[in-house]
Amino acid sequence: MLVYALVAGVLFGLYFSLVGIGLNLVFGVMRIVNLAHGDFLMLGAFVAIGVVTLIGIDPLFAAPLAFVIFLIVGLLLYWILVPRLQGSANPEMLSIILFFGLSQVLEAVTTIFLGTSERSIPSRALGTVFSTVKVKLFGGSPDSGGGPIEILGQGFPASWVIAAITSLVAIGLVYVYLYQTRLGTLTRAVMSRRDEAFATGIDVDRVSAAAFGIGLGLAAVAGIFAPFMFGSVTPAFGADATVTSFAIVVLGSLGNPLGTALGGVIYGICYMVVQTYLSSWADLLPYVLLIFILLLRPSGLLGRRVRVA
């Protein structure tokens, strides 16, 4: 059971890293608190459900589509909402109020159109793309794409492994964006010293808009896998996802997007160990970790100055 919990914790941890990295990117660049982050993750989950139920294709194909759609939504929301926040005397506090209201609106509208019932997707729906890869790497029959994958003598749902691999790829792309592109270099400059970046002529609004759009796009991609990782979703799923995201972000380091990867893995292992041995306490884990980290190390495990060059 311990081996199962640890391996499952790593798989969930990679996924949780994807859940939180968009939130941390937005905070790192703009210092605003997006309390609607989990609701965009919830919308991504319903995109996956819609793709499966209406079109009948592998929801993995919906991941790049969801990223592009929510990237555009993020750009529009930024230019509508955020510049006014940045011009206020206390943008962080106003962002909490504004995005809390946006969260409530998104949940209410989704409830009106989709109802409050739980929605789920069969695990086998996510297995078609990786069926051949699974057979070559792990063995099995060609039609077993959605079946369990054996790791260290333990069987794990293929959807968990696919979600973990996709999350690892997404985190790698975020690293490439931040450290291998000009826009990423400008993004890190804004994250380090926003006022100095503005003074040197960097178009802070353009950089911030890109980061906000990417953050929402990453949340939507994480949402694609939510029905497989959590079993089912409802319009109220967003609130819990936001709390979990904050626990992961604070655990790694608030304002350091790549620190979210460490926070996610640690959170995933803790979550699966508690789920295995004390399942009734699992839902309290995000709140306990938040209190624990804020009391003992408020800056997070990697809470040092963000490297710019």
Name the pTM for this structure. Answer: 0.89
Domains of the chain: 2-296 (1.10.3470)
Q: What confidence tier does 307 reach under pLDDT thresholds 50, 70, 90?
A: very low
CB 103 within 8 A of CB 239: yes
Per the rule left: phi > 0, alpha: psi between -120 and 50, beta: everything else, 300 is left
Percent of the chain with pLDDT over 70: 90
Q: What is the pLDDT of residues 240-287, one digit of tens each?
A: 999 999 989 988 887 788 889 989 999 999 999 998 888 888 888 888
Q: What confidence tier does 158 reach under pLDDT thresholds 50, 70, 90?
A: confident
Q: What is the pLDDT of residues 191-241, one digit of tens each?
A: 988 889 989 999 999 999 999 999 999 999 999 999 999 989 999 999 999
What's the mean pLDDT in 23-45? 93
Please state, in angstroms and rounded to a whole number, the distance separating the CA atoms of residues 99 and 103: 6
End-to-end Cα distance, the chain: 44
Q: What is the pLDDT of residue 170?
A: 95
Q: What is the pLDDT of residue 36?
A: 96
Closest Cα partner for 140 from 173, 148, 177? 148
Q: What is the pLDDT of residue 132?
A: 47
CB 265 within 8 A of CB 10: yes
| CA torsion, ordered 123, 162, 245, 309, to nearest 10 deg | -170
